Structure 1
Amino acid sequence: MAVEGGTKCVKFLLFFFNLIFWLCGLALIVVGILVQVGIHKTLTIHDASASAAPVVIIALGVVIFFIAFFGCCGAWKENYCMVTTFAILLLLIILVEIAAVIVGYVFRNKLSNVVQDSLTDMISGYKNGTDEFKNTLDKLQEDLKCCGVNSSSDWKDFGKDGNSVPDSCCVTLSTNCGNGTMTDAAKVHQKGCHDALEALLKKNLLWVIVAALVIAGLQILGIVFACLLMRGIRSGYEVM
């Protein structure tokens, strides 16, 4: 027996919600991948916890993507069992998202140490690194207009004279512009990359947390709509 009146309106609201939910799942996958790729393209990270939040977000996005499709089918067919299962799965997803937000918040507090260790490792391996590895660090210094981890002095082992830095540290980039200019503020950026990079990563991580919270809010609405539809479907069965 088809639902009627206000319950029918809830049915279409739940169906429309799941279309938005499906797009949110897709958005989470994209955001998670961008943050994951951004972190690993920027840094050489040995701490596995640095990838925890983005990986959880990607996994959630995939699960949400399929659950939304399941919810659409349940709402359209007015199937009590499918709608109930959808609501339960949605509740579980919200709990996992809360855990992901907590992981992200905890990671923010240890981000400084991860950045410090990663940049130090990258500078140590620069001379013997591959061209791709060197280009990654060079681009980082060029884009953030910084040099070294905490200052240009971190490159003291770069040249034989102990006073040279990679050209990517230069204020005005040119071939061999970093030779013998480590402490020359007019030619080389004296500020290290640590603070600038930490701020950039925290900003990206904050967007991931905000996205998770917004989607969790939408999911709560989805559970409310699902419960209303379940009651409507059940009432229909009782009338029959």
Structure 2
Amino acid sequence: MAVEGGLKCVKYLVFFFNFIFWLCGLALIVVGVLVQISLHSELMINDASASGAPILLIALGVIVFLIAFFGCCGAWKENFCMVSTFAVLMSLIIIAEIAAAILGYVYRGKVTDVVSDSLTDMISKYNASSPQFKAAVDKLQHNLKCCGANSSLDWRSYSSEGDTVPDSCCITVSQGCGQGTLADASKVYQKGCQDAVETLLQKNIQWVIVAALVIALLQVLGVVFACLLMKGIRSGYEVM
């Protein structure tokens, strides 16, 4: 009876971990969608390579979501084939996550290039863009308290006089406040948006890394308990 009781505990632990994975998969999908929206709508980063991370998060979330559902069914029905398939698939997911983390570390320097190119492109297109695009750029500069890509001087081509910046660059925003204030540190933010955007991304990435480590630990425990359940099922003990 002691063995049976132990296996019953393992069964519910496997079910519990799979339910957590199911929620994690759903969370990854939501985070991926929010990051994608943020990159394009708020941070104005339109580089195709920048979409790789959120798309990967969404894809990984969908896979984890489906595998976790599969694992829940296997644990509840005490089906050796389903539980073993779950353990194999989850192990592959863990390996893929480790590979993704290594690639992210190797190519971490690309973030600077992507942000720089996107912000430069943003400035060059500003005058000829739609009101929605201009509003998004203005919101970015106002919220991050920055101006231009590297400094306010990036807006030299904004006007024919070469001494004006968008009003969103102003420390105190008002209609026409950017007129003739290109290099006026008392009225216009001098810090470029590149550093501000990179700082924001790095801060968010740190939280993503912490969450990924926690999820990976839970996944490893889930695989361990799944293996224990497989061993119990194979040995012929009844798990109720």
TM-score when scaled to structure 2?
0.93
* Deviant stretches of 4+, over 4 Å: none
Q: For residues 30 and 98 of structure 2, what CA distance do their matches in structure 1 show?
A: 19
User: How far off is 1:17 after superposition?
Assistant: 1.1
Query: 1:67-78 alignment to 2 at 5 Å?
Result: 67-78=67-78
| Residues 55/102 of structure 1: CA separation in 2 closer, same or farther (3 Å cut) | farther
Q: For residues 201 and 122 of structure 1, what CA distance do their matches in structure 2 show?
A: 18
Q: Which residue of 1 aligns with 2:54?
A: 54
User: How far off is 1:107 after superposition?
Assistant: 4.1
Q: Which residue of 2 aligns with 1:45?
A: 46
Q: For residues 51 and 173 of structure 2, what CA distance do their matches in structure 1 show?
A: 33
Secondary structure of the residue aligned to 1:108 is coil
Question: Any idea what the Cα deviations from partners look like across 1:158-203, whole Å, max 9, x if unmatched?
Answer: 1111100000000110001000011111111111111011111122
- 8 Å contact kept, 1:53–1:100: no
Question: Any idea what the Cα deviations from partners look like across 1:29-76, whole Å, max 9, x if unmatched?
Answer: 111221121111122423x32222221111111111111111111111
Secondary structure of the residue aligned to 1:81 is helix
Question: Any idea what the Cα deviations from partners look like across 1:115-155, whole Å, max 9, x if unmatched?
Answer: 11110000000000111111111000000111111111110
Which region of structure 1 is more displaced relative to structure 2, 207-216 or 221-230? Answer: 207-216
Show structure 2 runs of 5+ residues with no match: none
Report how many residues are paired: 235
Identity among equivalent positions (%) equals: 67
Q: For residues 201 and 95 of structure 1, what CA distance do their matches in structure 2 show?
A: 25
Query: 1:17-36 alignment to 2 at 5 Å?
Result: 17-36=17-36
Q: Which residue of 2 aligns with 1:135?
A: 135
| One-letter amino acid of the counterpart of residue 46, structure 2 | I
Q: For residues 163 and 113 of structure 1, what CA distance do their matches in structure 2 show?
A: 27
Q: Which residue of 1 aligns with 2:187?
A: 187
User: How far off is 1:206 after superposition?
Assistant: 2.6
TM-score when scaled to structure 1?
0.93
Root mean square deviation, CA, Å: 1.5
Show structure 1 runs of 5+ residues with no match: none
